[in-house]
Amino acid sequence: ELPENGKVTWKAPSNIALVKYWGKRPVQIPANPSISFTLDTCATTTSVSFRKKDTNDTLSFDLFFEGKPKEDFKPKIQTFLERIDLYVPFLKEYHFTIETSNSFPHSSGIASSASGMAALSLCLMDIEKQLNPTMDEALFYAKASYLARLGSGSACRSIKGNLVQWGKHRNISNSSDLYGIEYPFEVNPVFRNYCDTILLVHKGQKQVSSTVGHQLMHGHPYGENRFEQAFSNLDKLKPILANGDLEEFIKLVESEALTLHAMMMTSMPYFILMKPDTLEIINKIWKFREETKTPVCFTLDAGANVHMLYPSSAKEKVRGFIQDELIGHCENGQYIHDRVGMGAIKI
């Protein structure tokens, strides 16, 4: 029996990939496995109110972003709901009011698609759980991740905490192309409170959407080698994560970030998504690391912003360095201190 109406709310975090997902085939199947730190501070909170309607032949919803109607996000949500209709039996039975807000500044250049799609998927699963109260918890989260993947690939890594792996890998037994899993191997305590400071270098619209970016990996001259490299980097990461070898961690993470950008520079058409300040920051991080032996490194998403990763023991030194030398390279001096988090929560 379907409830007449109700409301559910979930908060889901963003994530930052260590081994990057770049390239996919239909429907949202990754060309290579990836792994990310789940973040904590950067998050989307979404409420879904649902009300039974008379007809069940169409999808029906309203969308509010930070309290205001948001027409320009509607097509993306519409496509998402159409795609998951097959898997969510009650979708056309209700009218939904979706209200969403981000913890980070609007248009900060931080992608909200991962946290947003994860939060919305969890809300829908929560409604499904009301219809099926005995649903197993593991199934609940796996299916939420599955749905989130259909909204935005990397969103499937924003359901659970600390370290999430996505994409079938021969040496990771429960890995799947269809949803993210909590990293099943030993993780050294040094990574538990790992910090991520996001330097907001360029807040404008991205030059290339990730949808277009993924497509450019089809027939890419270095594509097959890159996909193989991601598989092998996941293998290499296993002992690094277990023994906390930060020197090797840094090499692997920075190489992944630069390879992601190298793929964009060598596709047709080609893109440079770094800005001059991105390069200035990278050079300063390298110099600081060399001079102070502080284990801090950078990583990048498909944009100009820089994520600085460091253990919490280096917090004071790194934050002093950011204050003294890096803020001048950020748009309006903006940055966000974040850290590794536990995954999404019900509000």
| Amino acid (one-letter) located at 146 | Y
Q: Which of 263/285 has CB closer to ligand PMV?
A: 263
Instruction: Compute the least distance from the CB of residue 42 to ligand PMV, in Å.
Output: 13
Nearest-angstrom CA–CA distance, 261 and 302: 7
Q: Which of 127/144 has CB closer to ligand PMV?
A: 144
Q: Which of 76/337 has CB closer to ligand PMV?
A: 76
Nearest-angstrom CA–CA distance, 153 and 23: 10
Instruction: Compute the least distance from the CB of residue 302 to ligand PMV, in Å.
Output: 4
Instruction: Compute the least distance from the CB of residue 249 to ligand PMV, in Å.
Output: 17
Nearest-angstrom CA–CA distance, 130 and 48: 14
Coil, strand or helix: which one is 150?
helix
Q: Which of 83/317 has CB closer to ligand PMV?
A: 83
Nearest-angstrom CA–CA distance, 288 and 281: 10
Nearest-angstrom CA–CA distance, 252 and 237: 8
Instruction: Compute the least distance from the CB of residue 210 to ligand PMV, in Å.
Output: 3
Binding residues vs ligand PMV (CB under 6 A)? 17, 20-22, 34, 113, 152-154, 210, 214, 260, 301-302
Nearest-angstrom CA–CA distance, 156 and 311: 25
Coil, strand or helix: which one is 13?
strand
| Amino acid (one-letter) located at 347 | I
Q: Which of 214/289 has CB closer to ligand PMV?
A: 214
* CA 126, chain centre distance (Å): 21
Instruction: Compute the least distance from the CB of residue 11 to ligand PMV, in Å.
Output: 19
Instruction: Compute the least distance from the CB of residue 70 to ligand PMV, in Å.
Output: 19
Nearest-angstrom CA–CA distance, 24 and 216: 10
Nearest-angstrom CA–CA distance, 244 and 342: 19
Q: Which of 124/156 has CB closer to ligand PMV?
A: 156
CB 171 within 8 A of CB 235: yes
